[in-house]
Structure 1
């Protein structure tokens, strides 16, 4: 057996057409494989960077053009029964030829293909060509053939099995790709090979059990032997001539378990599977790390409706999640190191689950391996989002093949704990005026309620399946009913103030979000507007949400002082995003006896854009990230409205009881106490306690000049409650003293308040694009101090570092 990667010598050219620019027509350029057309043209200097300004618009022709990849290769030297061309991922409608003979066609970005090409190979150079048809032309032809179906955007993404967000989204550009986007190579083999290995891991009491389902492809009808080993367990089975499948069962006594982060260690065990010929020679091998753990989804109706509780190893896990979108428009630019950095950011924000959203892709092996390694749970959507999807052929067959391949591929990963049928499509059928234009045509119901649950049930019964996000558990209940199953809350962003989150006590919130622009350094790299303004052309182009700026302004008007300039607007919109999500998360967590989890929209971006992300398209943390770190902390202290008053809620998501004394003080903005009380906290593991606050604490003498402070525990982490909105508070003009001193790898900024400083935040990326800071959104009373540690490639200007617009707080907005 031999494997030969085919990465070298590729060239790319466009098929001549009316839309192809003269500088590209009839020209071959070097092609990187794996890669895509856009990145090859960019490397050749033939197109501008589509992430900058409005360059995206001038590149629409790429998605409407046919493209040809070509290379030459030498055939494997040894004699084998079969030589297969293996394509791990082609994007998307492709015709493959070897030495001028067609060997296959593809129509699905989300699955792999294998073609027997042995009879076509010759000594010396062999020609390999992959011709890609325009994704637009294919999708529009299917749309015309099957009849249109409604979707969220005026693009035909639901008529092709391709990454939907390539066609644009309310946070993403329209850059319709083509190319050899995953590995391609030759696989030469004899007698037989492992066509599929599917380990199903369960727990039997304290013992681990692995059922290894093996499928072989044969070139010879002889008996075969399969062996499997994990930990100290071994199994062997003979596959008789004429058979293609086998099951090996291994039992591991009391293995170390895999746990989500925060609940225990992430123990993994190497599972080896080998295939042997009758003479004992090894024909093929497969190896993965697996984790022993159990997963259960509890949806047993109760007094509050239908719960949605994930348990791992019989321990209910309160989900502190974020939604994940493709981290780049062009997936081959996403390296393992880049993913590791993004995962570190998620973990740094106390996240324990990533939901892979259904308009993107099934992620790379690196993605799931890193999640396994770091204890991040993964909820994986099947790839259907915000549209009515046709169920006719060729789509029915492609969907079934794609789902079977991906379910099989991902079974080894302990981090994967939930399959979800789609994103918002069942909700869309109910509420988005789809039924009349559909006029009885298929829209995807059969996928979500029949095909996909059957495939998961047959291939991976160890994991739960949920038909949609949102979904209430039955077609007899509205799919987005907060009392049942999972819910998405989008009225807050679209029409209502973020304080409306408090009107919901849902069972599980799978999406909710609030927008803000990216970091200033990210804006300045990607937008050349002079002057930069919230509505300048580049800013407007990088705001993809309908009415996005008006919604941002509505949020500012409700809560914050009016911005005087762009610097104010940038700081305040980022602050308002952080405030909105922190309020929502803390409210939902304060009801953990009813609500079992939240998944914030969204962790990341795929390009520089104003969006709902906590980490922007250049990988910089927005203030929301710091707010999430607080709101998702293992132990959370929060003040919440309750029964016409206020309550102190302590939430404990650790395995140990939390016992502490809490002090709660009502005081003026000048720091003068008006009332004080002490409360004893005794919070059991994985639970919360709610303590009503006495009237003298919650009834201010002057709401515009007072606040409430609660502190608890050895670290005395502070929780604030303001009785009035910032726009109405009588703020003193901000005043502080600051010092800057060098530290290893950066500088330490110490700020001492002379007045109250509301949500003090340092933005060092305004001085150096490499600069980061360890804290944000700090409120100080007079005479209190805090420190910020700044890391950068070199020392930053000490004067600029502690002055506007780098160092900001709410009550300096009028200082200009």
Structure 2
């Protein structure tokens, strides 16, 4: 039986003038931080003060010994080395690595003695990238860093939302494995589901297992599902591959969030010694799910569709883009993955796109997605650059792809492989072909030939797409909104968010609008006094090209000039919500012509002004709460062509749509109603419900669903707010009542306490309406804290020259 000896824990780290304890898994930056050798790179401009770390060479070392029973073979296994490593054991070279995204295994059976020194020397990623560039020639990319020349997390070199903190380390677990006779090297269980076979359907298990041997004898493999044997497979002496296609009756299918149970089954493969057919020598276990994925990319009169079908049912995608949740990914834990992904699910999200400038995430990430019913769109790791197709990169790309397609294949949540992020589009759109190196190889062989061939061989159960965006062929411009996937960045970069309504793309895989992080997150990261939108620290934590200029132009189209940094902060948060809402609701009203949206982005990896809904400290921006409303299974939206009734449930939605025209003080001027019957998973647009001439507000309701439209972006009317704060177990209940029209009331809980949270974002109240905001914290809160300036604000207050605190009744 395979025996594992974990080598995680305390190692020693050495570099120039550095010799200190290190933690494995980990990275040099976190070790230096723990030892007080570098300042916090998230604070002010300290990012620049620690840049030297990424240009230095480092060595991790410790003594190891095999403490387990005697085996035919002992392997040293690294699940992740970042990135350019030379591994020595007892002074003898085991091997060299040049890829952060691969697993490495070394036979140390004859090399490991008692207290043998294991040394991992990590050379600077910059030095490696520069050396490769010298061999293959320059290549254009979107950022002035050499990430295309090394197989490493690209965004560690900086991005338009991230710092340049180029890591090195043993970033995933390392262990010794002792085994005899044979071991299970890999298992690829491709689990699909047929709903058209019998009343309960039928599971199909296409199982491939690769076996590594040290003894040439017959073996057997027993396959169990939920503890029950479903197959016993013989492996003759010398054979190294087991393959079987099995029908599995009575399984419950895995369904995406909102479409049924995300059912999982325990799959076990037990390797038995063929000598007696009973002695277990290795075991592989995972939870798998049976489901079928298809991607409708057929032509129609408008262009080319892009609609996912899971278990033969079309699924509206309500997605978010995921970047690494920590610039130091070795810091991630299963608990943190579970927290962040649960937050996504609670915001109505049903798909996570793992973006191509990051990493293939840890097994825990995909297991949590499996459990939550969150679909995963997995990019191969290419982003925003021309990538050389020659050696030494080419063979690394192939090995990396094969490694990770195999590793991730058991997860039912993974529904599609995507070749790259924006590379097929940007080469021409950004004029890269005319830049130095633009006439050299740039990556299409990967996306159009090599990667699809690997997926077809190893994982034909999932659709592959060449890139995002991609129109399906060179017959159309890659970012053509009428054909397959589209990235909407003209809006934000150059246009007001109202222009989201100019088109109905077939699938919007990226779009977004910036806002700063929560106030406490910003203040913890920036010590500027006074704190201004353009003070040095704030600008340092804004990585987008002309980001603050775009924020300012976006505000100018809708609001008067902000009278303070606090007002700027409030208004930029509001503009982010309004922009994203405009896009999602417009495109959702065109389902299934538009197959879905993937908002850029869910999360941040440090405190920064960005497109995220959850900031780098894990605090919710108001956008997070708004996503829950935009993704609601049943919702209304008022569009220029009418009131759209959105029904993403399995039941018909019948009811009376009531549309009221109101004056600016909320008085009803007229109303009209219309009976609707919206089909399951459908949309109905009720035309002709135009507001009365001169109406300032339009209110549409259907049951508990409501949508609002305002003739003006801003307001100066007195909302007549009364605020009552009551102490309750765990925090405060804050009741807000309006006698007028209170637009965009926002309570910023982090202004009360750094750990406080609130359950709503922007809330608009009509005359006579109330809402209760639930503020929670791990410490008692003073009800009077709600009356402090900017803790609770509405739009009229934010646009006023001098804010006035709200009256609070304790």
Cα deviation for residue 733 of structure 1 reads: 3.4
Q: Quote the residue 1:196 is aligned against.
A: 186
**1:155 is the counterpart of 2:151:** no
Q: Quote the residue 2:177 is aligned against.
A: 187
* Helix, strand or coil at the partner of 2:699: strand
* Helix, strand or coil at the partner of 1:35: coil
On the 8 A contact 1:76/1:188 being kept in 2, the answer is no
Q: Quote the residue 2:691 is aligned against.
A: 698
Distance 1:794 1:177 in 2: 36
Distance 2:512 2:769 in 1: 33
Distance 1:188 1:262 in 2: 44
Cα deviation for residue 162 of structure 1 reads: 0.1
On the 8 A contact 2:83/2:97 being kept in 1, the answer is yes
Q: Select between 797-806 and 749-758 the one with higher mean Cα deviation.
A: 797-806
Q: Quote the residue 1:602 is aligned against.
A: 601
On the 8 A contact 2:670/2:692 being kept in 1, the answer is no
Distance 2:124 2:300 in 1: 51
User: Among residues 26, 30, 43, which one is paired with 1:39 in the alignment?
Assistant: 30
User: Among residues 132, 145, 148, which one is paired with 1:142 in the alignment?
Assistant: 132
Distance 2:71 2:726 in 1: 68
Cα deviation for residue 536 of structure 1 reads: 1.2
Q: Quote the residue 2:581 is aligned against.
A: 582
**1:674 is the counterpart of 2:674:** no
Where structure 2 has 5 or more consecutive residues not aligned to the other structure, the ranges are 804-810
Q: Quote the residue 2:743 is aligned against.
A: 758
Cα deviation for residue 347 of structure 1 reads: 1.2
In the TM superposition, what whole-angstrom CA distance separates every residue of 1:37-83 from its partner, at most 9, and x where no partner exists? 00000001101111111111011111110000010012234322211
* Helix, strand or coil at the partner of 2:71: coil
Cα deviation for residue 782 of structure 1 reads: 2.7
User: Among residues 166, 170, 188, which one is paired with 2:156 in the alignment?
Assistant: 166
Q: Quote the residue 2:563 is aligned against.
A: 564
* Helix, strand or coil at the partner of 2:709: strand
Distance 2:8 2:338 in 1: 25
* Helix, strand or coil at the partner of 2:513: coil
Distance 2:730 2:455 in 1: 50
* Helix, strand or coil at the partner of 1:38: helix
On the 8 A contact 2:737/2:768 being kept in 1, the answer is yes
Distance 2:509 2:626 in 1: 19
Q: Quote the residue 1:237 is aligned against.
A: 233
Distance 2:99 2:35 in 1: 27
* Helix, strand or coil at the partner of 1:261: coil
Q: Quote the residue 1:21 is aligned against.
A: none
Q: Quote the residue 2:222 is aligned against.
A: 227
Q: Select between 520-529 and 572-581 the one with higher mean Cα deviation.
A: 520-529
Cα deviation for residue 501 of structure 1 reads: 0.2
Distance 1:126 1:329 in 2: 33
Q: Quote the residue 1:2 is aligned against.
A: 3
* Helix, strand or coil at the partner of 1:255: coil
Distance 1:342 1:681 in 2: 37
On the 8 A contact 1:63/1:134 being kept in 2, the answer is yes
Cα deviation for residue 233 of structure 1 reads: 5.0
On the 8 A contact 1:773/1:789 being kept in 2, the answer is yes
Q: Quote the residue 2:808 is aligned against.
A: none
CA RMSD of aligned residues (A): 1.2
Distance 1:82 1:348 in 2: 47
Q: Quote the residue 1:49 is aligned against.
A: 40
User: Among residues 706, 709, 723, which one is paired with 2:699 in the alignment?
Assistant: 709
Q: Quote the residue 1:91 is aligned against.
A: 82
In the TM superposition, what whole-angstrom CA distance separates every residue of 1:582-628 from its partner, at most 9, and x where no partner exists? 01000000111310100000000001100000000111111111221
Distance 2:449 2:211 in 1: 28
Distance 1:534 1:617 in 2: 18
Q: How does 1:204-353 map to 2 (within 5 A)?
A: 204=194, 205=197, 206-231=201-226, 232=228, 234-279=230-275, 280-353=278-351
User: Among residues 766, 778, 785, which one is paired with 1:800 in the alignment?
Assistant: 785
Q: Quote the residue 2:455 is aligned against.
A: 456
Q: Quote the residue 1:22 is aligned against.
A: none
Distance 1:785 1:310 in 2: 40
Cα deviation for residue 734 of structure 1 reads: 4.2
CA 1:439/1:599 → structure 2, altered by over 3 Å: closer, same or farther? closer
On the 8 A contact 2:84/2:99 being kept in 1, the answer is yes
Q: Quote the residue 1:553 is aligned against.
A: 552
Distance 2:570 2:779 in 1: 25
Q: Quote the residue 2:512 is aligned against.
A: 513
Cα deviation for residue 797 of structure 1 reads: 3.0
Cα deviation for residue 744 of structure 1 reads: 2.8
Q: Quote the residue 2:58 is aligned against.
A: 67
* Helix, strand or coil at the partner of 1:407: helix
Q: Select between 410-419 and 198-207 the one with higher mean Cα deviation.
A: 198-207
* Helix, strand or coil at the partner of 1:358: coil
In the TM superposition, what whole-angstrom CA distance separates every residue of 1:267-323 from its partner, at most 9, and x where no partner exists? 111100011112332111100011011100011101111000101000100000000
Distance 1:418 1:233 in 2: 30
Q: Quote the residue 1:500 is aligned against.
A: 499
On the 8 A contact 1:9/1:72 being kept in 2, the answer is no
User: Among residues 679, 701, 704, which one is paired with 1:684 in the alignment?
Assistant: 679
Cα deviation for residue 794 of structure 1 reads: 2.7
**1:428 is the counterpart of 2:426:** yes
On the 8 A contact 1:98/1:129 being kept in 2, the answer is yes
Distance 2:245 2:410 in 1: 15
Cα deviation for residue 803 of structure 1 reads: 4.5
Distance 1:804 1:650 in 2: 39
Q: Select between 83-92 and 780-789 the one with higher mean Cα deviation.
A: 780-789
CA 1:718/1:441 → structure 2, altered by over 3 Å: closer, same or farther? same
CA 1:263/1:439 → structure 2, altered by over 3 Å: closer, same or farther? closer
* Helix, strand or coil at the partner of 1:138: helix
**1:724 is the counterpart of 2:709:** no
Cα deviation for residue 173 of structure 1 reads: 0.3
On the 8 A contact 2:184/2:211 being kept in 1, the answer is yes
TM-score, scaled relative to structure 2: 0.96
User: Among residues 732, 736, 747, which one is paired with 1:747 in the alignment?
Assistant: 732
* Helix, strand or coil at the partner of 2:523: helix
In the TM superposition, what whole-angstrom CA distance separates every residue of 1:185-205 from its partner, at most 9, and x where no partner exists? 111111111111111112243
On the 8 A contact 1:488/1:512 being kept in 2, the answer is yes
Distance 1:801 1:190 in 2: 66
Q: Quote the residue 2:806 is aligned against.
A: none
Q: Quote the residue 1:649 is aligned against.
A: 644
Q: How does 1:756-795 map to 2 (within 5 A)?
A: 756-795=741-780
On the 8 A contact 2:217/2:274 being kept in 1, the answer is yes
User: Among residues 106, 109, 112, which one is paired with 1:121 in the alignment?
Assistant: 112
In the TM superposition, what whole-angstrom CA distance separates every residue of 1:617-664 from its partner, at most 9, and x where no partner exists? 11111111122111111111000012xxxx111010000011121211
Distance 1:74 1:144 in 2: 41
CA 1:721/1:116 → structure 2, altered by over 3 Å: closer, same or farther? same
* Helix, strand or coil at the partner of 1:168: strand
In the TM superposition, what whole-angstrom CA distance separates every residue of 1:504-547 from its partner, at most 9, and x where no partner exists? 11000000010000001111211111121111111111000010
Q: Select between 778-787 and 794-803 the one with higher mean Cα deviation.
A: 794-803
Distance 1:664 1:743 in 2: 38
* Helix, strand or coil at the partner of 2:772: strand
On the 8 A contact 1:233/1:251 being kept in 2, the answer is no
